[in-house]
Copies of this chain bind each other. A is one copy, B any other.
Amino acid sequence: MKNLADILELDGPAGPPTERMLQILTEACRLFATRGFDGVSVRDIAQECGISKATLYHHFPDKDAILRPLVMGITRSLHQRVLRAIPAEAEPAEKLRAFMVESARFFEEYRWAFIVSSTVFWTDPQARQRRQRIEWRDRHEALLRIILEEGVQRGAFRIEDIGMAGRLVLGALNWMPKWYDPKGPLPASAIAEQFYDVLLAGVGARPDVITI
């Protein structure tokens, strides 16, 4: 995982996060991703960091306070990074490609946090910063929808239901964590490129073109 501090916004009233806090967040993130939030005890996190549980509670008020910045940071940063990666003047197809590739790249860099974020979205009916998180996610989905709509209007895309097309794209990308192997032959960005190719041209052969 790249520097986890980049995606966090802990530098509020308490100043920038300390080295120890980052260590706790990093270890907790990896544990949450592999065993789930409820499957990891505060003792586990402390032990993994080589400190006592009481020390951990010196840096964080409660268990939720460890999870929250991870989920929140990932949701926000994903959108911001993808948004920044999309060239303003490009063709819609190129924008879609940028959206998909940058999403995959982000996933690869912050894999554990990405997994935590996407699993927590489920089993969390109430509070945990839900509103603000959903706001970012909606903004992200809106960005994709705008790209697709622009493509349709400019004649680059041919889409019946934009919402459904968007969900197909996001589904393929968001499902990646479940099977992606960082030691595999292809980086996530290359996989996203392939997805893009299939998505744009379809898998169906085009006899009408071939037989001209």
Contact = CB atoms under 8 A, between A and B. Distances in A.
Interface centre among A119, A161, A205, A212 (most CB of B within 10 A): A205
Contact of A204 (B157, B164, B172, B204): B157
B151 A167 contact: no
Interface string A196-212: 01111111111011001
B191 A164 contact: yes
B176 A171 contact: yes
Contact of A172 (B148, B159, B161, B167): B167
Interface in A166-198: 167-168, 170-176, 178-179, 191, 194-195, 197-198
Given A123-B36, A164-B191, A200 B202 contact: yes
Interface string A27-55: 00000001110110000000000000000
A165 B203 contact: yes
A11 interface: no
A10 to B, nearest CB: 26
B202 A202 contact: yes
Interface in A118-172: 119, 121-123, 125, 148, 151, 155-161, 164-165, 167-168, 170-172
Of all A-B residue pairs in the complex, the 4 with the closest CB atoms, nearest first, are: A202-B202, A171-B175, A38-B38, A36-B123
19 contacts: A38-B39, A119-B119, A119-B123, A151-B203, A156-B204, A156-B205, A157-B203, A158-B205, A160-B194, A165-B198, A165-B203, A168-B172, A174-B178, A198-B199, A199-B202, A200-B203, A206-B206, A206-B209, A208-B209
